[in-house]
Chains A and B, each alone.
Chain A
Amino acid sequence: MKVEITVNGEHTSHDVEPRTLLAHYLRENLGLKATNIGCDTTSCGACTVLVDGEAVKSCTVLAVQADQQSVTTMEGLEGAAQGELGHPVTRAFRQEHGLQCGFCTPGMVMAAVSLIDENPDLTEKDVREGLEGNLCRCTGYHNIVRAVLVAAGKDPDAAQAAEAVSGERTTAPGFSTGEGDK
């Protein structure tokens, strides 16, 4: 099947198998390898990209579903093509050490871009809940949360201090625990 997708502002078109995932289209057909695949179950979010501005996990979307739409990956953020951190989110991730091994980073960055776009007035709790669909195994999220707050123009020290004493539940209710029969 032929798809036409605008990726990072450029028109792309390829004949693909109908079952081709958007993540594979980006990686294999276009050679855009920043977008990573970390799981098979839409759990980790490493493959998060923007489709018409909305954060989407590209490993669970078919390329044909993105036909005639606009996709943005981390490579499409300001400055990225020149190797420069021209976007507030990528700048903040470096400044706050919001990445270690870098595998979750492209998806995490795109989820953060979308989160800030939807709600510029973020609290620490908003950031934590807003990034619930993106897993990081290295940072413990502490510095990712700070980076997103900084990119949103917040003072991360103040936000974290406020959250620490708020008495509000910091964790999302209900969570798969892997508890099985013994």
Chain B
Amino acid sequence: MSILGTRVVRTEDPVFLTRGATYTDDLTDERLTGALHVTLVRSPLAHATINSIDVEEARNAPGVVAVFTGADCDIAPALLFPAANKAMLRPFLATDRVRYVGEAVAAVLTEEAYQGEDAADLVDVDYEPLDAVVDMKEALKDEVLLFPEAGTNSVTAMHLAKEEPGDDFFADCEVVVSREIVNQRVAAAPLETRAASAYWGEDGRCTIFCSTQNAQSARDEVAGWLGMDAKDLRLILPDVGGGFGAKIGADPEFALVAWLSKKVGRPVRWNESRSENMTGMVQGRAQLQTITIGGDRDGTVKAYRLDVVADAGAYPRLGVALPMFTRMMAPGTYDIPKVWSTAQVVATNTTSTAAYRGAGRPEATQAIERAMDLFADEIGMDPAELRKKNVIKPEQFPFTTKGGAEYDSGEYAKAIDLACQAADYEGLRAEQARRRERGDALQLGIGVSSYVEITGGGAFVENATVQVHPDGTVTVLTGTSPHGQGHATAWAMLASEELGIPVEKITVKHGDTDLIPTGAGTMGSRSLQTGGVAVHNAAVELVELAKQRAADVLEASVGDLELDKATGSIVVKGAPGAKSVSLADLAGTEELKVFHEWDAKKPTFPFGAHVAVVEVDVESGKATVERIWALDDAGPILNPLIFDGQRHGGIAQGIAQAMLEEVVFDSEGQPLTATFADYGIPSAAELPSFDLVNMETPTTINSMGFKGVGEAGTIGSCPAVHNAVIDAVSHLGVSHIDMPLTPVRVWTAIHEAQKESAK
């Protein structure tokens, strides 16, 4: 019986549930013995020039070993994203100007952590406040410039459409609906904040222990910033307490920590507080979108236009690139004859933006799924019917979209049908009608989303090493970088399937750049379809290698040999009881190890449909998510336990964006959501259980048929819930409410619609 597709509990868990995982701040590694604690002094102003920094009092405080400011720091300011305006350089410690609240201006090194907090308070920075620009549209006016030397706040021209659509773009449409919507800024907020520790060996090499989603590219980034050869840098990842995209690559603080360690000649460790994290860690989404959709009254959508303004924050990072995915995925699951999109990216006096679960694709889905509902509302058509009428048909695959994506496989209408059937969509509509008829205070809203996303879209190449040891155990080395996704279990299953060696005997290692010099890490839901397939391929090759070696031992031709998976031995086909040799014995004679690099060459396109049901108290505006049915099709399921877990987490984060979460800055750039007491991460009490519906449509891109599922839940649930809340009050004249759908927003929308209708 195959282990693939079965529910295998995680091999990670016994340690996690007894002594606990070991995160960067938990390390007791002897190389960090005597490490100094780094406390960063951060700017309380969003935009200011620095007149002077007085560190004398701090230097004399108890336990202080050193204090450094930008004047001391000789790491050259860096462009954190290559395609950004070349003048938008980030200093590692601010020198003459700060550009967001939380920017590091000084580093205090102390023997103990509490001493650092005390001493940091004594660093006296004389700031001259400047006008801050927080609103994206204001920033585009270039009246207040973050980087005067750049002459503009515009970060890049890379997403501008080559030409404007003609005046006739919507000319053949009977109905055109257009409006601006906000995809609000949110915080990834992994429960483990950022952390890094560094020490320099006598050989001149630096080792950094840190919390990231990809050790190898983080190593290369840090080496670049420090002007080092990457060979002189080793990154080791302890366990990582969540990332959600915000831990992709290195943070400037990692380089700073390495530099500080060299400067003082001692190991150092840095672990930020949650308040630092809520201003210092990259944030996600932050797009203003103008959506325009046109078509006929029979429900044929003919043209769609998406105009995006994306907020890069103060120092452009990965967020600069993400509108590429938003534009690519703009048409969603639909076969729309005309699609046009453009995106501007602008710098503001706020925290930098980068990836957050979905990274550019949820923004595309939210836009098209709101557009479909607005269009359905306008022509009076059922939103599920409208979707099914316009989706790409199964026989059209592979399908090249007007966004430039080549969708591999999909059955979009079937997904909508199955999700609606599971939810008893007709029954829900009937209940909704009854409540509307009665004028109930608690109105029912039903929201549908149809989505397709792109996974493994960034890095197509991944590697794996599989080695069988003489004692019968196996080591798998992977270039992926799990931080909750269960690769230790999943990759062991893939190796076990081919080698006939039980999962318990297989150890999966990742995240040490000396042990695994290449690899692209875990992001963009790429791991299974790249790293997982690499493990599978490596194991298949290892069996071939073992057969070649066994041919001599067994005096048989390779073609007559096979692996008996029940015993982990190479045997002669059809000759039970004949001589055999185990993989372990072969490994005892000569190293039995295979390195495999797999180039997927292309991304895959998982898809699905979600149906959300909400209740809205029209008197208070309070909306409550009651149920959600989620169909997420990512091809064959390797381990349903992990697969469903990824969906659950994703669904929760999508609901959270729709209902609760928003990073808020005031007009001066002061963050109003800089703690967990202010930022609305849902608890168990704000969420329902989730109903999952399965469908498995394999991709043709890899031999296993695998697509990615890490971000699917978020991409599907957010628009379904958003649509549901608006649907609950649409009969009151409400056609749109921006997220998060807090009681005050829903209440205000209802009252404004009523005022409008009373005119």
The interface of chain A, by Cβ under 8 A from chain B, is 17, 19-20, 24, 27, 31, 33-36, 38-44, 46, 74-75, 77, 79-85, 90, 93-95, 97, 99-106, 109, 124, 127-129, 131-145, 160, 163-164, 169-172, 175-182
* 18 CB < 8 A contacts A-B: A38-B193, A77-B18, A85-B14, A90-B18, A100-B645, A103-B23, A103-B241, A109-B17, A127-B684, A137-B681, A138-B242, A170-B688, A171-B686, A172-B683, A175-B660, A178-B660, A179-B745, A181-B672
Q: Check if B239 is an interface residue, CB within 8 A of chain A.
A: yes
Question: Shortest beta-carbon distance, B130 to chain A, in Å?
Answer: 21
Residues 710-759 of B contacting A (Cβ, < 8 Å): 713, 740, 742, 744-745
B22:A128 contact, CB within 8 angstroms: no
Give the nearest-CB partner of A100 in chain B. B484
Which residues of the other chain, B, contact A41 by a CB distance below 8 angstroms? 274, 675-677
Distance in Å: Cβ of B397 to nearest Cβ of chain A = 31
Q: Determine if A135 and B191 form an interchain contact, defined as CB atoms under 8 angstroms apart.
A: yes
Query: Quick check: is B358 within 8 A (CB to CB) of the other chain?
Result: no
Q: Is the CB of A75 within 8 A of B191?
A: no
A19, A139, A171 pick with most chain B CB within 10 angstroms? A171
Are the C-beta atoms of B688 and A164 separated by less than 8 Å? yes
Select one of B114, B652, B673 contacting A19, CB under 8 A.
B114
Among B102-110, B311-319, B599-607, B661-669, the one that faces the other chain is: B661-669
Q: Which B431-445 residues have C-beta < 8 A from chain A?
A: none
Chain B stretch 689-713: residues in CB contact (< 8 A) with chain A: 689-691, 713
Measured between alpha carbons, how far is A31 from B25 in the docked complex, in Å? 12
Interface hub of A38, A94, A136, A177 (most chain B Cβ within 10 A): A177
User: A181 and B666: CB pair below 8 A?
Assistant: yes
- A88 and B183 alpha carbons, distance in the complex (Å): 42
Tell me whether A135 and B683 are in contact (CB under 8 A): yes
**Min CB distance, B176 to chain A, in Å?**
28
B76-115 residues at the A interface, CB under 8 angstroms: 113-114
Is B26 at the interface (CB under 8 A from chain A)? Answer: yes
Contact A34–B190 (Cβ < 8 Å): no
CB-based nearest A residue for B12: A102
- Docked-complex contact A100 and B486, CB < 8 angstroms: yes
Given contacts A93-B13, A101-B483, A103-B23, contact A164 B241 (CB under 8 A): no
| Docked complex Cα distance between A138 and B710 (Å) | 11
* Dominant secondary structure at the B interface: loop
B641 within 8 A of A: yes
CA distance A133 to B190 in the complex (A): 16
Q: Please tell me if B566 contacts chain A, counting CB pairs below 8 Å.
A: no
A1 smallest CB distance to B (angstroms): 14
Task: Collect the chain A residues with CB atoms within 8 Å of residue B275's CB.
Answer: 40
B151 CB to closest chain A CB, in angstroms? 29
Contacts of B641 in A (CB 8 A): 97
B366 part of interface (Cβ distance < 8 Å)? no
A138 to B624, CA, bound (A): 21
**Smallest CB gap from B243: residue in A:** A101
Give CA–CA (A169, B28) in the complex, Å.
Answer: 46
B485 close to chain A: CB less than 8 A: yes
Across the interface, do B660 and A140 meet the contact criterion of CB distance under 8 Å?
no
Residue of B nearest to A145 (CB): B684
Q: A100's contact among B23, B193, B649, B681, by CB below 8 Å, is which? A: B649
B748 → A minimal CB distance (Å)? 11
Least Cβ–Cβ distance between A125 and chain B, in angstroms: 9
A43 contacts B664, C-beta separation under 8 Å: no
Q: Is B651 close to A, CB under 8 A? A: yes
Is the pair B190, A139 in contact by a Cβ cutoff of 8 Å?
no
Q: How far is the CA of A132 from the CA of B17 in the complex (A)?
A: 21
Q: What separation, in Å, do the CA atoms of A132 and B15 have in the docked complex?
A: 25
Contacts of A20 in B (CB 8 A): 114
Q: Bound state CA distance, A75 and B20, in angstroms?
A: 8
Q: Is the CB of A105 within 8 A of B20?
A: yes
Please give, as numbers and ranges, the residues of chain A lying within 8 Å of B667 by CB-CB distance: 181
Compute the total of residue contacts between A and B using a CB distance below 8 Å: 246
- What is the CB-to-nearest-CB distance from B25 to chain A, in angstroms, rounded to a whole number? 8
Are B683 and A132 in contact, with the CB atoms below 8 A? yes
List the B side residues contacting A131 at CB < 8 Å.
683-685
Selected from B18, B679, B689, the residue in CB contact (under 8 A) with A145 is B689
The yes or no answer to B322 lying at the interface (CB within 8 A) is: no
Of B483, B641, B649, B683, the most chain A CB neighbours within 10 A belong to B683
Contact with A along B636-659 (1 / 0, CB 8 A): 000001101100111111000000
Q: Which residues of A contact B15 (CB under 8 A)?
A: 83
Across the interface, which residues of A come within 8 angstroms of B648, CB to CB? 139-143
Quick check: B664 and A74 within 8 Å, CB to CB?
A: no
Let me know if B335 is at the binding interface, CB within 8 A. Answer: no
Q: Across the A-B interface, give the 7 residue pairs with the lowest CB-CB distance, nearest first.
A: A34-B20, A140-B652, A101-B484, A103-B241, A100-B484, A43-B676, A180-B664
| CB of B253 to closest CB in A, whole Å | 18
Whether A94 pairs with B13 at a CB distance below 8 angstroms is yes
Q: Does B19 contact A (CB under 8 A)?
A: yes
Q: B10 an interface residue at 8 Å Cβ cutoff?
A: yes
Closest Cβ–Cβ distance, residue B473 to chain A (whole Å): 18
A74 with B685: CB separation less than 8 A? no
Cβ 8 A contact of B14, one of A94, A127, A144, A145:
A94
Q: Which residues of A contact B16 (CB under 8 A)?
A: 99, 102, 105
B653 contacts across to A, CB distance below 8 A? 137, 140
Residues of A within 8 A of B740 (CB): 177-179
Judge whether B675 and A40 touch: CB under 8 Å: yes
B174 within 8 A of A: no
Are B14 and A141 neighbours in the complex by a CB distance under 8 Å? Answer: no
- Residues of B511-566 whose CB lies within 8 A of A: none
Given A36-B20, A39-B675: A129 in contact with B662 (beta carbons within 8 A): no
Known: A103-B190, A177-B660. 8 other contacts (CB 8 A): A17-B114, A103-B192, A104-B191, A140-B653, A142-B687, A170-B687, A177-B740, A178-B740
- Separation of A175 and B691 alpha carbons in the complex (Å): 25
CA distance A43 to B673 in the complex (A): 13
Question: Which chain B residues border A104 with CB–CB below 8 Å?
Answer: 191
Are B12 and A140 in contact (CB-based, < 8 A)?
A: no
Contact across chains for A179 and B191 when beta carbons are under 8 A apart: no
B678 at the A interface (CB under 8 A): yes
| Contact among B114, B244, B678, B683 with A134 in the assembled complex (CB-CB below 8 Å) | B683
Once the chains are docked, how many angstroms separate the CA of A135 from the CA of B21?
A: 17
B273 CB–A CB distance under 8 Å = yes
Q: With a CB–CB cut-off of 8 A, which chain A residues contact B626?
A: 170
CA distance A39 to B484 in the complex (A): 19
Q: Given the complex of chains A and B, what is the CA–CA distance between A138 and B273 in angstroms?
A: 20
A113 to chain B, nearest CB (A): 12
Assembled-state Cα–Cα distance A140/B615 (Å) = 20
CB within 8 A of B666: which of A33, A138, A171, A180?
A: A180
Shortest CB-to-CB span from A134 to chain B, Å, is 7
Tell me, rounded to whole Å, the shortest Cβ–Cβ distance linking A149 to chain B: 11
Q: Are A140 and B687 also in contact (CB < 8 A) when A74-B18, A179-B662 are?
A: yes
B18 contacts A83, CB within 8 Å?
A: yes
B664 touches A164 (CB 8 A): no
State in angstroms the CA–CA spacing of A90 and B275 once bound together: 31
CB distance from A178 to the nearest CB of B (A): 4
B206, CB-defined interface residue at 8 Å: no
Tell whether B308 is near chain A: CB-to-CB under 8 Å: no
Within 8 A of A (CB), among B166-200: 189-193
Inter-chain CA distance A176–B679, complex, in Å, is 7
Measured CB to CB, the closest approach of chain A to B622, in angstroms, equals 8
What's the least CB distance linking A110 to chain B, in Å? 11
Using known A-B contacts A99-B17, A140-B652, determine if residue A169 contacts B190 with beta carbons closer than 8 Å: no
Interface core residue of A39, A127, A128 (most chain B CB under 10 Å): A39
Question: Which residue of chain A has its CB nearest to the CB of B666?
Answer: A181
Cβ contacts under 8 Å, B10 to chain A: 94, 97
* B274 contacts across to A, CB distance below 8 A: 38-41, 44
Inter-chain CA distance A154–B678, complex, in Å, is 35
**Contact present for B689 and A102 (CB under 8 Å):** no
